[in-house]
Each structure stands twice: as C-alpha cells, then as structure tokens.
Amino acid sequence: MKDSVLKSITAQHNGPIYVYEGAKIQQQYTRLKNAFSGVESLRINYACKALSNISILNLMRSLGSGLDTVSIQEVQLGLKAGFRAEDIIFTPNGVSIEEIEQVAAMGVQINIDNLSILEQFGTKHPNIPICIRINPHVMAGGNSNISVGHIDSKFGISIHQTPHVLRIVENTGMHINGVHMHTGSDILDIEVFLYAAEILFDTALKFKDLDFLDFGSGFKVPYRPGDIETNIEELGEKLTERFHRFCETYGKDLELAFEPGKFLVSEAGYFLTKVNAVKQTTSTVFAQVDSGFNHLIRPMLYGSHHEISNISNPKGKERFYTVVGYICETDTFGSNRKIAEISEGDVLAFKNAGAYCFTMASNYNSRFRPAEVLWYEGEAHLIRKEENFEDLVQNQILIDFKEKVEAN
C-alpha cells in the first residue's frame, strides 16, 4: 500500500491501528488457486486463527474459500460471517469431547487428532463422518519454535498408531471421510513436503470411503527484502501430478484441501503506531512508540521480523534505531534497525502484520486494543472500533469491601 494511503487512514483515527489491504488478500488467494488449477476439486479453507475479524472472514467467503477453525468460538464467528456449516472444518487440539459434540451438532466437518477422543466420539456418534489428523513426523518448517510436525508434537495422531486408528474404526463402525496432515510452519523445502505427502497417501489407502485429503498449509511468506518463500507454483505442479496418480490408484477422484492462514493475510497487513519519544542513551537511540507487545507480540514471542518504515519521513536520511514500546516489560520490536530519520510524532508502519498480530493482542497494562481497517476498492472500511474504558471494565464486577473491612 502507498504511504499516502496509510497516512490518510492514520489521520482519521486515534492511537495505533491495523490496516489490511483487500487486494493483496485476493491476490494471494488467486495465486494459490491458480497453482493448483489442474486439480478438478480444490478446497481452500482459510485458517482463521491468523486473522478472525468477521469482515475478513466475509471477504474470504466471497472469494470462494471455506474455513478452518480451531475453537467453537471461531466456528460461531464463521457462521456469523456467512459461511455455511458444511464449508467449515473444525481442527481443534486438546479440547473436550463436549466441545467437539457441540460443533458436530452444527453440521461442521470434524477433524480429530487424538485416539481417546476418536474412540469416544466414534462410539457415541458412528454416523457422523470424521477426518483423521495424522502426524507424519516430518518437519517442512524452517523455525524450530513454530514447527509442529516432530515426533513429540501434541498435534496429530502418529502414523505409527495407524493400526490403532483402524481398530477403533472397525470396532465403532464410524465413517472416516478425510485424512489430514500438518508438517509445521514456514515450508522451505518442497521435496520434504512432498515426502510427507507420500506418507499421507499411504495412510489414506487404508481408508476405503474418503471424500478428501487435507494437506494443511504452513506456506512461508517473505518478511524482508530478498527473503525466501515457499514456491507455491512448483508445489502446485508437483503435488497436482502426484495427487492425480493417487486418485487413479484409489479408484475415486477426491477433493484436495489446504488450510492457508498466514499465506493469505500476512503481507496484506500493516500496523501503524505513533512515535511518543526519541531517547538517546550512551549507545542506543530508542524510538518509543504508542504501542507494545499488548498489540503486536510476535517479535518478543517468536523473535519474528517485521520490516519497519517511517511513513512520515520516507525519504529522510537513514539512522539506526531500536524500536520499543510503552509496556512496563521488555518489548522490543526491532533492534538497531536502519530507518529514515525519526522525530517525535512520526508514524511507523510495521509490515507483515496481517497474521497472528491482532488475534494475539491483549489488554496488558490495561491498555485498549486498537482499531482495524480494511482498505478495499479505494475505500477505508472500519471493521473494528478501538476499545475504550467501558470495553475494558464491562465484564468486571466491583465488590465494595469498605463495609466488610469496617465490620472486622
């Protein structure tokens, strides 16, 4: 997005703000769809944990996307945004059997990754089709902090436990209609992903009445100039060819599904915040902004990189700054970054702020969560108001202890 657009949006709001570019979301969705244009039945289920604003969900629905959810609340958000229950898949981890039953009663596709839950659910509800989430024990991701395909992962049923799964299915008479895998985030090596896909194919052959195979996601996006990313086009060409051969072997054309989240929304997002103060110490120049990890925690939690630019002075002479927040903890957004000269009152833009940014925001230090704006077809649409004090206290209950203390 142009700096002039971002500055204009900032001028209309108080405090920090998230801005999402609708055209970029559409571009990423189309890119993925085109990469797999050779697949007759393709389903893209947006992983809404990345960014769950209902207007964003509605935009995804309008593009033809389904929805990947991990909580009953995300299911409810999807329904509110206009998704049909049959276009939603529920892929929880560690939730109660009661929550799974509640979601199943809504007509949503259930994806189970726990042998105990599988047996309980199959015994009680053998007629409800279920997807099995496997752990292929292959990590296609590049960040050990966020990879979830390893042997001790809490996600998925180990492929080594497949005989146990088959015994449960036989004993309960339940119907398995899909098999799903996830190899972690930030996929760098296409061949490693394809190797994991072979494990999925081998596992799928053990189930005789499938409707779909779900390959998860974890596609890497660039976070800085020249950064590497998942080659979606290469993956599309190679996996499409192999998927066709599998369907021939299986004797039935299945649906191929993905669950992209970050890939669709990360690059579409910008986080804008004002500089409160520029502080010079003996060795560092701090740019202290009107925000903190209460609004954007990923750099502190994951060590993730977000490019930072000064949209108030884009052509200024570059200097080195450490950008920090106002939280009474260490909340460093970036250390010794080369940024156009910063003055107090300038607005800094954090890029790649579409995925896992607002959704992980909090009210720490009793700060308000910021507004969200969707820039779509040349117009700024407010899709979430900035919180106020009433929002902060609306669910709190004040107990007056004065009489109790005086009575004692």
**Each residue's pLDDT tens digit, 47-94:** 999 999 999 999 999 999 999 999 999 999 999 999 999 999 999 999
Residue 14: predicted pLDDT? 87
Distance (Å, whole) CA 219 – CA 211: 24
Q: Which two tokens stand for residue 69?
A: 């959810």
CATH class of the domain defined by 269-393: mainly beta
For 365, which DSSP code?
Answer: G
| pTM (predicted TM-score) | 0.94
pLDDT value, residue 143: 47
Residue 148 has pLDDT above 80, yes or no: no
pLDDT for 141 = 56
pLDDT one-digit tens code per residue, 13-33: 988 999 999 999 999 999 999
**CA 37, CA 135: separation in Å to the nearest integer?**
27
Check: CB of residue 149 under 8 Å from CB of residue 209.
no
Q: What top-level class would CATH report for the domain 22-265?
A: alpha beta
pLDDT digits (tens, 9 = 90+) for 120-141: 999 999 999 999 999 988 866 5
CA 209 vs CA 45, 116, 130, 251, 346: distances in Å: 22, 22, 11, 10, 60
pLDDT range class, residue 150, cuts 50, 70, 90: low
Same fold, 22-265 and 269-393: no
Burial of 174 (0-12, 13-18, 19+ CB in 10 A): buried
Query: Over pLDDT 70: what percentage of the chain?
Result: 96
Diameter over CA atoms, the chain? 81
Q: Whole-angstrom Cα distance, residue 35 to residue 219?
A: 13
* Residues taking part in catalysis: 328
Considering just the CA atoms, what is the radius of gyration of the chain in Å?
23
pLDDT band at 188; cut points 50, 70, 90: confident
Of 184 and 254, more confident: 254
Q: What is the pLDDT of residues 190-206, one digit of tens each?
A: 888 899 999 999 999 99
Domains of the chain, by residue range, sit at 22-265, 269-393
